[in-house]
């Protein structure tokens, strides 16, 4: 018996609205089980939701997030399927790597700039101490 979640359980946990989660289902990103009308989310559903939201934070559209996430769920039966999957994984990995480079330049630039600010502030404070004497 695995643990399950209601839609508002997940909404609370991830800081989104139930509407958002239903929207992801409309877009084919989630397909929870049902108890009558009610949606029942499994641990796998929860993981998929987490992946979607992480994708969004990294600047992917829902469609792009779906492409990536569906790779993890695809059947890996025969060798041909495995080879195309590995190819697609390499593509997506390259995109992520590009973003990482962008991100690292951004952080490095920001750090350099912040450092210059701190130096300038230190000078100003030294001047202020001199003037106080």
Partner DNA sequence: GCTCAAGTTTACGTTAACGTAAACGTCAAA
Partner DNA sequence: TTTGACGTTTACGTTAACGTAAACTTGAGC
Tell me how far, at minimum, the Cβ of 127 lies from a copy of itself, in Å: 9
Environment class of residue 40 by beta-carbon count within 10 Å: exposed (0-12), middle (13-18) or buried (19+)? Answer: middle
Q: Which residues pair with 38 in a beta bridge?
A: 35
Q: Does residue 43 interact with a copy of itself by CB under 8 A?
A: no
- Rounded CA-CA distance 84/119 in Å is 53
As separate numbers, helices (DSSP H) first and strands (DSSP E) second, the chain gives 5, 2
Site string for a copy of itself, 63-102 (x = CB under 8 A): ---------x---x-xx--xx-xx--xx-xx--xxxxx-x
* Residues making contact with DNA (CB under 7 A): 6-9, 16-20, 22-24, 27, 36-39, 56, 61-63
62 binds, among DNA, a copy of itself, none (CB under 5 to 8 A by kind): DNA
């Amino acid at each position: 018996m695995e643990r399950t979640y209601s839609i508002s359980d997940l909404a609370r946990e991830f800081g989104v609205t139930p509407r958002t989660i239903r929207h992801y289902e409309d877009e084919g990103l989630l397909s929870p089980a049902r108890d009558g009308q009610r949606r029942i989310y499994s641990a796998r559903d929860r993981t998929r939701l987490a992946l979607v939201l992480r994708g969004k934070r990294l600047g992917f559209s829902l469609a792009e997030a779906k492409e990536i996430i569906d790779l993890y769920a695809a059947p890996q039966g025969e060798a041909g399927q495995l080879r195309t999957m590995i190819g697609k994984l390499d593509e997506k990995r390259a995109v992520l790597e590009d973003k990482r480079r962008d991100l690292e330049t951004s952080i490095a630039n920001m750090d350099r700039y912040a450092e210059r600010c701190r130096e300038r502030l230190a000078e100003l404070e030294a001047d202020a101490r001199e003037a106080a004497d």
